[in-house]
Amino acid sequence: MQEQLLADLRAMWRIRAFEEKAQALCGTGDIRGSVHLCIGQEAGPVGACTALDEVDALFATYRGHGWAIARGTPLRPLMAELLGRATGVNGGRGGSAYLSAPEHGFHGENSIVGAGAPIAVGAALAGRHDGTGRVAATVFGDGAMNQGAVHEAMNFAAAAQLPVLFLCENNRWSELTPIREAVHNQTLTDRPQALGMTAVRIDGNDPRLIRETVTDLAEAAREGGGPAFVELTTQRLVGHYVGDMQTYRTRGELAEDREREPVAVAVRRLAEAGVSAAEIQAAENDAREEVELAARAALADPPADANSVREHIYA
Partnered with residue 233 across adjacent β-strands are 170, 203
This prediction's pTM: 0.96
Q: Spell out the alpha helix ranges (H) of 63-197.
A: 65-70, 75-82, 95-98, 116-130, 148-160, 179-182, 190-194
User: Whose CA is closest to 64, among 32, 94, 29, 31?
Assistant: 94
Q: How far is CA 218 from each of CA 76, 103, 142, 276, rounded to the nearest angstrom?
A: 30, 20, 21, 35
> How many other C-beta atoms lie within 10 A of the C-beta of residue 194?
12
What is the third-level CATH fold of 2-296?
A: Rossmann fold (3.40.50)
In whole angstroms, give the CA distance from residue 32 to residue 66.
19
The whole-angstrom separation of Cα 9 and Cα 269 is 11
235 and 171 Cβ atoms separated by less than 8 Å: yes
Element (H, E) at 234: none
Using 70 as the pLDDT threshold, list the residues of the chain that sit under it.
315
**Domain range summary for the chain, segments of one domain joined by +:** 2-296
